[in-house]
Amino acid sequence: MSDNYFEKLLDSIQHKTARVGVIGLGYVGLPLAVTTAKRGFPVTGFDVAPDKIEKLEESNSYIEAVASGDLQALNASDSVDWTTDFAELSKCGVIVICVPTPLTKYREPDLSFVRQTAEVIAEHVAPGSLVVLESTTYPGTTVEVLKPIIASSGHGVGSSVFLGFSPEREDPGNASYRTATIPKIVAGDGKEAGALVQAFYENVVDKVVPVSTTQTAEAVKIAENVFRAVNIALVNELKVIFDAMGIDVWEVIDGASTKPFGFMPFYPGPGLGGHCIPIDPFYLTWRARELELSTKFIELAGEINTDMPHY
């Protein structure tokens, strides 16, 4: 039976007959829903906010990366549905979770949105479906948090319902890179799940990069954002030091950037903004504490970047 569910789902993905449900229509989910529909899949976009659904039905985009004209064309072609009715998940062969993963006031991971979404999916998911988490989180979330909740549906995870992880890599405001052109890291919980996740995204984006496990895929996204946070903190510290020496840090960076190897320019600023860099590294520090390991670089970077607005 496992092969039957797998083969049927793989065939429907390859022929783009599988309906794709995207949960969470923010700066990650909405561009993904639109891109997936433009690539030929039938799409249902889910959100708990009725005002978002109303705007989308009226072809009014609230996300810079999505043009209202694209919404109008997709709505006119009946390529997409927008809804707050999560019972419609039962019609979806692929379900992608794009919900927030903030921090608590104690700088610990807040996975409440992921858990609530997984519970709703477990209530409505049909056998022969693929569920993919895109929300940034700590390594282990897919198998330790998402998997047990989906298993409560009564469907066998890995036999009739398949799980995967593919971290979002959106860069809001960057016109050079869009959902379809950013290489996509993909992984599945098991060989068949991995094949399904890879097949789906290969039909949606230009380049797919498979990795061996969902934990590895989760770690890739954390590593990317830790790298940025630490290097931003470093250049912020250099800014303070060079100012005290009467040296223009911008000129220093411009000069150092002429070296064709071994240097990558980062720029100082008043702390960190956006959805990822101020939050994601602390998912790893929390996970490391569970393993009784310290994350000195990450925590120091957080202190430096937090202090910059005062400077």
**% the chain with pLDDT above 90:** 79
The reported pLDDT for the residue numbered 273 is 62
Nearest-CA neighbor of 78 among 19, 132, 28? 19
The reported pLDDT for the residue numbered 1 is 42
The reported pLDDT for the residue numbered 275 is 59
Query: Which of 92-96, 163-167, 170-174, 284-288 comes out lowest in average pLDDT?
Result: 170-174
Mean pLDDT is highest, among 187-191, 228-232, 286-290, for 187-191
Instruction: Calculate the average pLDDT of the chain.
Output: 93
Q: Rounded to whole angstroms, how far apart are CA atoms 10 and 200?
A: 8
pLDDT(280) > 80: no
pLDDT(152) > 90: yes
Q: Which two tokens stand for residue 285?
A: 């520090």
Q: Which entry of 56, 71, 276, 301 is annotated as an active-site residue?
A: 276
| Max intra-chain CA distance, the chain | 72
Q: Rounded to whole angstroms, how far apart are CA atoms 280 and 141?
A: 13
pLDDT(3) > 60: no
The reported pLDDT for the residue numbered 2 is 47
The reported pLDDT for the residue numbered 276 is 66
Q: Is the pTM of this model over 0.85?
A: yes
The reported pLDDT for the residue numbered 271 is 67
Q: Which two tokens stand for residue 174?
A: 């960057």
Segment 267-286 shows an average pLDDT of: 76
Segment 157-169 shows an average pLDDT of: 96
The reported pLDDT for the residue numbered 249 is 97
Express each pLDDT in 26-70 by its tens digit: 999 999 999 999 999 999 999 999 999 999 999 999 999 999 999
pLDDT(151) > 60: yes
> Are 150 and 125 a contacting pair, CB within 8 Å?
yes
Segment 152-168 shows an average pLDDT of: 96
Q: Rounded to whole angstroms, how far apart are CA atoms 138 and 284?
A: 6
92 has catalytic annotation: no
Q: In which band, very low, low, confident or very high, does the pLDDT at 277 lie, cut at 50, 70 and 90? A: low
**% the chain with pLDDT above 70:** 96
